[in-house]
Structure 1
Amino acid sequence: MSIPFSILDLAPIVTGSTSAQALRNTFDLAQHADRLGYTRYWLAEHHGMPGIASSAPAVLIAELAAATSRLRIGSGGVMLPNHSPLVVAEQFGMLEALHPGRIDLGVGRNAGIDPRIEEALQLSAGTQSIEDFTKRLVELRNYFSEDSLAIPAAGNRPPMWLLGSSVRSAKMAGLFGLPFAFAHHLNDQQTVQALDTYREAFQPSIELDRPYALITVPIICADTDARAQKLAEPGALAFIELQKLGAGQSPRSQLPTMDEVENYPYSAPEREIVNAYFESQIIGGQETVRAKLDDLIQRTQVDEIMATGMVYHHKDLLRSYELLAGLYADGACVWTRAPERTDIDGY
């Protein structure tokens, strides 16, 4: 079986830099991924986070699709409670019309964890319920039918994906017959259960005739294991700071520097958080990364791996994805394993 590799980008803003530079780095990384042979490049939607510049995926997708030649560019994802399904359909119908066969529409339900953002987006308990999300998802799908009032969505249907980090979202994706993207980087303990649930619940649909799932995996690859571990440390500290946001505290605003990490006074509980954080990561030199990925692929039987990573220096991130791509035969970003099977067209 050939397993494609892809990239999820959050456009991280590092300490001492700007959101404009973060977006230029995203532009550069997408072109780098295009040359290296990755399958798709997705942009996340986050609001009110000073360390993340990716707040408007549709805008970025348009720019990146125009600047690349073969990558599938998509949303990982559009948070549907934040938007009118009609507007989402119009945006992605237009993107598909402009870049036919190269757009992915990934949708999710998580609106964020900051009450200020929920208020600014005019969200209520009703708009964040599973019932409301299901209604919006059905409405969004219908706007891509040939007789739809959503122009140019009518007749320009990009593949729609359901994103999630729970078994419940996996079951929904299966029942809707959608390809499923599971956030392994957020909930690695339920990955296998979620994918099994998705496959068991799957019902063929206009989008897909059999299950297809990818998992998002934090991967940092360097020339040595020690170097990779060093590059991963700012992301671990940023993760600790993110916990403060969830607790209503003021976190560090941007990805910390290597010096800040070295000088940070970790408490014992924070050390435990860091250790748990690294357990869900694939970090190391090429041999280490390949061994860990091979084990993960065998355990999950996943159809595609979507790598994501945060390091302080952009050049180190470019190198990480270059080394990851270098693991594959003939320079193509696919992982080959037995038994052989036919890939799903369009995914």
Structure 2
Amino acid sequence: MAEGIAVSVHDTAPVWRGDTAGDALRRSVHLAQAVEALGYRRYWVAEHHNTPALATSSPAVLAGSILAATSAIRVGSGAVLLPNHSPYAVAEQFGVLAGLYPGRVDLGLGRASGGSGEAAARLGDPRRLGFGDALRELGEYFSGGSGGVRAIPEPGVPPEMWLVGSSVSSAADAGRLGLPYVYAHAIVGGGAPEALEAYRQAFRPSPALAEPHACVAVIAVANDSDERAHRLAASFVYGQILMRTTDPATVLPTEEETAAHRFTAAEERFLREKIGPQFVGSPERIAPRLGELLRRTRADELFVLTQVPDHQARIRSYELIAKIVSSL
């Protein structure tokens, strides 16, 4: 990899037409094995609810399967959405993982709900703690307990806690808490340099982290052909169009289905808006733009999200991204 820059995976376990959620989850386990062999540092799984197109409703459960199928790569959540959960339950779940796989478990945390308001109302701690209070309580469980209550098991090597966000304020919060931070360029493109600078300015050393660790998460689809890369990337965006306009419960369209669709002018604009800030194309097209982002953000680590319907093309994309980063 490029000097000082690690590369890691962010995964949403996308479900494509003709497949089941089980197929998507098994592909995630297989992809984790493939990227471990490519030298990726981490494999993180997202949290989504009431979304048939994304099978990542339970990061802790999926992370456990991936940990069992791999040997060295760090595995965790990107992110557990803390408002959906009791901090105590999260501490117990990730305590089990860290007890079984010491030194390999990450606990990335976010503020969002990851689904509809109706789904969010059925999740969470009945006390409805604010994010800061929930985060504080969660941390206490990994250092002896909270309010006289211990989260068992108490792993000898606790999971590493991270914050994941897409704003300057979330970045500054992570800095003040002395936690590593991931800016989600995959969600909000363009704000990473300012957010990571705010993180570094606000950073205060903590028992968990002596120096700031600033990361950026992007969508990337690399292929030997620019045309094929864009065709692959368009399938997920077309799926977003379907979910927003005609069928919220859809799974994601195939590459062939997307190629056959005649995009309206509004859909074409949406496609450009989603793909434009991200990294789609051949290595020759991606490398200069990705290098510029890493230079401007001074990121310590790059997280890559690749959502394409062809599993072998997905693995190939991660292989090409690793080569791009190593050449920068």
TM-score normalised to the size of structure 2?
0.93
> Retained in 1: the 8 A contact 2:47–2:79?
yes
Q: Distance in 2 between matches of 1:203 and 1:150?
A: 27
Give the drift of 1:154. 5.8
Aligned-partner residue type, residue 139 of structure 1: E
Aligned-partner residue type, residue 234 of structure 2: E
Q: Which of the numbers 61, 68, 71 marks the counterpart of 2:70? A: 68
The residue that corresponds to 2:217 in the other structure is: 216
- Give the direction of change, closer, same or farther, for the CA distance of 1:103–1:123 in structure 2 (3 Å limit): closer
Aligned-partner residue type, residue 132 of structure 1: G
* Identity level (%): 42
Q: Distance in 1 between matches of 2:264 and 2:8?
A: 36
Aligned-partner residue type, residue 153 of structure 1: E
Please tell me whether residue 152 in structure 1 is matched to residue 153 in structure 2: yes
Provide structure 1 residue ranges, at least 5 long, that are not aligned to the other structure.
330-334, 337-347
Q: Which of the numbers 137, 141, 145 marks the counterpart of 1:143? A: 141
Give the drift of 1:328. 5.4
- Give the direction of change, closer, same or farther, for the CA distance of 1:113–1:57 in structure 2 (3 Å limit): closer
Q: Distance in 2 between matches of 1:311 and 1:268?
A: 23
Q: Relative to structure 2, which stretch is displaced further, 34-43 or 92-101?
A: 92-101
C-alpha deviations, 1:163-188, integer Å up to 9, x for none?
A: 11111111111111110011111111
Q: Which of the numbers 254, 258, 264 marks the counterpart of 2:255? A: 258
Q: Distance in 1 between matches of 2:243 and 2:124?
A: 23
Aligned-partner residue type, residue 233 of structure 1: A
The residue that corresponds to 1:11 in the other structure is: 13
Q: Relative to structure 2, which stretch is displaced further, 157-166 or 252-261?
A: 252-261
Q: Distance in 1 between matches of 2:324 and 2:111?
A: 34
C-alpha deviations, 1:183-222, integer Å up to 9, x for none?
A: 1111112211111111111111111112111111111111
> Retained in 2: the 8 A contact 1:44–1:54?
yes
> Retained in 2: the 8 A contact 1:57–1:75?
yes
The residue that corresponds to 1:108 in the other structure is: 110
The residue that corresponds to 1:308 in the other structure is: 305
> Retained in 1: the 8 A contact 2:231–2:259?
no
What secondary structure does 2:304 align onto? strand
> Retained in 2: the 8 A contact 1:146–1:154?
no
Please tell me whether residue 181 in structure 1 is matched to residue 179 in structure 2: no
C-alpha deviations, 1:46-69, integer Å up to 9, x for none?
A: 111011111111111111111101
Provide structure 2 residue ranges, at least 5 long, that are not aligned to the other structure.
none
- Give the direction of change, closer, same or farther, for the CA distance of 1:243–1:280 in structure 2 (3 Å limit): farther
Q: Distance in 2 between matches of 1:252 and 1:315?
A: 26
Q: Distance in 1 between matches of 2:145 and 2:113?
A: 31
Give the drift of 1:34. 0.9
Give the drift of 1:261. 1.5
Q: Distance in 1 between matches of 2:207 and 2:192?
A: 26
Q: Relative to structure 2, which stretch is displaced further, 294-303 or 232-241?
A: 232-241
Give the drift of 1:93. 1.6
Please tell me whether residue 317 in structure 1 is matched to residue 319 in structure 2: no
The residue that corresponds to 2:208 in the other structure is: 207
Q: Distance in 2 between matches of 1:139 and 1:266?
A: 48
Please tell me whether residue 268 in structure 1 is matched to residue 265 in structure 2: yes
What secondary structure does 1:204 align onto? coil
What secondary structure does 1:107 align onto? strand
The residue that corresponds to 1:35 in the other structure is: 37
Give the RMSD, CA atoms, in angstroms: 1.9
Q: Relative to structure 2, which stretch is displaced further, 291-300 or 136-145?
A: 291-300
> Retained in 2: the 8 A contact 1:234–1:261?
yes
What secondary structure does 2:130 align onto? helix
> Retained in 1: the 8 A contact 2:283–2:321?
yes
> Retained in 1: the 8 A contact 2:85–2:124?
no
What secondary structure does 1:77 align onto? strand
Q: Distance in 2 between matches of 1:137 and 1:308?
A: 26
C-alpha deviations, 1:8-59, integer Å up to 9, x for none?
A: 0111100111001001101110000111110000000111101111111111
Q: Relative to structure 2, which stretch is displaced further, 196-205 or 146-155?
A: 146-155
What secondary structure does 1:315 align onto? helix
> Retained in 1: the 8 A contact 2:181–2:214?
yes
Please tell me whether residue 289 in structure 1 is matched to residue 286 in structure 2: yes
> Retained in 2: the 8 A contact 1:11–1:26?
yes
Q: Distance in 1 between matches of 2:114 and 2:55?
A: 15
Q: Distance in 1 between matches of 2:70 and 2:254?
A: 30
Give the drift of 1:155. 4.1
